[in-house]
Amino acid sequence: MTAKRMIQRILLVSASGLLASMTAMAQTQPGGAGQQPNMPGSQPTPATGSPGMDTGSQQAIIDQSFVRKALEGGAAEVQLGQLAQQKSQSDDVKQFGQKMVEDHSQLGDQMMKPIAKQLGVKEPKGPSKKDKELIAKLEGLSGQQFDEEYIKAMLKDHRQDLKEFKDEAQMAQDPNVKQAAQEGAVMISQHLQLIEQIAQNHNVAIEDKAKEGKSKKS
C-alpha cells in the first residue's frame, strides 16, 4: 500500500469517527434537533395536560364546572336574599336581598340553565353544602345581628364570585359560557358596590383586599 493511500484511509476513518461523535453529542443535547428520539415501543410525552386530553378538552370540563358552580351559587343567593327580606329590620338590607332574588333568578333561568342543558350539565338540586351551612346559621339570627352576618357573607361571596366570573369570561371556550360569565361579572360588580355601601352604612368593617390576601397566606 502506498503512503498516499494510507493517508487517505486514515483521514476517512478519522472523518467517520468525528461524524459518529457529533451525532452522539447531538442526541444527548436537550431541546431542538438534539432531542433524544423515542425508542421503539415507547410513548411520546405530551407537552401539556394529562395524557390523552388536549387543552380544548380541559377547558370544556372547566366550563361545565363553572356553569354548575354558578347555578349552585345563584340558588344560594336567592335563598339568602329571601332570608334577608324576612329577618332584617333594615330597609337597605331588605332591598338588597330582593335584588339578589330578582337578579340571580334571572341570570339562572335565562342564561345558566339553558347553557347547562346545552352542555349536558346536570342542574344542582340547590346550594352547595357550604352555602347550606351558612343559610342554616343565618336562619337562627335576626335584627342587627342578622344584618351584620349577612353583610359580611355577601361581601366575601361577591368578591370571590367576581374573580371567578372574570377569569371564566377570559378563558371560556364555549361562546355562550363566555357571554354568561361576562354579563354575570357586570352584575356581580354592581352588587359588590351596593353591599360595600350598605356595609359602611351599618358600620360593618370592609376588610382591605390586600390585607385579606396576606392573612390567608399567613
Per-residue pLDDT at 176 = 96
Q: Taking residues 156-171, what's their average pLDDT?
A: 97
Residues 110-162 pLDDT 10s:
999 999 999 999 999 999 999 999 999 999 999 999 999 999 999 999 999 99
DSSP 111: I
Contact 97, 81 (CB under 8 A): yes
Is the distance from CB of 109 to CB of 70 less than 8 angstroms? no
pLDDT by residue (tens digit) across 84-98?
999 999 999 999 999
81 against 142, higher pLDDT: 81
User: Taking 90 as the threshold, does the pLDDT of residue 172 lie above it?
Assistant: yes
Cα–Cα distance measured from residue 8 to residue 90, given in angstroms and rounded to the nearest whole number: 102
Q: What angle do CA 54, 55, 61 make, to 5 degrees?
A: 95
Model confidence at 103: pLDDT above 50: yes
List the domains of the chain with CATH numbers.
55-209 (1.20.1260.10)
> What is the reported pLDDT for 208?
56
* The pLDDT of residue 62: 95
% of the chain surpassing 90 pLDDT: 67
Query: Residues 53-68: what's their mean pLDDT?
Result: 87
Distance CA 81, CA 97 (A): 4
| Tens-digit pLDDT profile for residues 181-207 | 999 999 999 999 999 999 999 999 887
Higher pLDDT, 52 or 156: 156
